[in-house]
Amino acid sequence: MVAFSIVEPVLRDFLIREAERQGTKAIDVIGDFIVQLSLFLGEKPMAIPGRQYILDEDYFRRIEAINFTVKHDDGKFPQSLKLADLILIGLSRTGKTPLSTYLANQGWKVANVPIHPDMIPPEELFQVDSRKVFGLIISVESLVKLREARLKQLGLEPYAKYADPVKVADEIEWSKEFFKKYSRWRVLDISNRAIEEAAASIINAYRTGKKPT
């Protein structure tokens, strides 16, 4: 049996004829779907193999953004924060890295910076365009669960101070007060929000200058 996916109609028909001639079962795994989709949309297929992998300007922009975001994960290289399109800041396990990665795959150069009551943020954070900066907050319950899961991954006790509800609540309150000191920073509550939803809110807020919703 031959299962195939060939975009070019001439080659597809040739394969089917040859399979029939040799008594081989040939299954077009995508042809029927394309035909039905074409009829539904009223559009003719472009019939360009590998269309999604074309190395165009958008592709290279996304690759550059991904490389930048990986390099500037977790507060690395603060001296080049000014080159970022977006900067995400927040406590540990508030989703900075996965959200940064998702945005990078859409072509945004993102840096993320961890904050904590016992840490001094990099001076460069206060020198960039504040419209780029988004503070992430989260509910106590959500953050405790995320930190407990992280401790479990590391093989540590889930009841360490890192995931203690009282300590977590104190950290969150501190982060909210910290964000208030810089009024032009936008703050986004990511509690129980999908990455896609949070990313869309950040992009919309950045483009419109409004607060994220």
Q: What is the pLDDT of residue 52?
A: 57
Q: Please check whether residue 88 lies inside any domain of the structure.
A: yes
Residue 46 shares a structural domain with residue 136: no
Mean pLDDT of 41-65: 77
For residue 128, what are the contacts with CB-CB under 8 A and spacing of at least 6? 81, 82, 84, 87
Confidence label for 45 from pLDDT (cuts 50, 70 and 90): confident
Mean pLDDT of 191-210: 95
Residue 76 shares a structural domain with residue 154: yes
Spatial contact of 212 and 205, defined as CB atoms under 8 Å apart: yes
CATH code assigned at 173:
3.40.50
Q: Whole-prediction pTM value?
A: 0.75
Confidence label for 79 from pLDDT (cuts 50, 70 and 90): very high
DSSP 1-12: -EEE---SHHHH
**Whole domain around residue 9: which residue ranges?**
2-53
Instruction: Provide, rounded to the nearest whole percent, the portion of the chain with pLDDT above 70.
Output: 96
Q: Please check whether residue 213 lies inside any domain of the structure.
A: no
Domain count across the chain: 2
Residue 9 shares a structural domain with residue 103: no
Q: What is the pLDDT of residues 129-142, one digit of tens each?
A: 999 999 999 999 99
Q: Which of 14, 38, 53 is the last residue of a domain?
A: 53
Residue 158 shares a structural domain with residue 187: yes
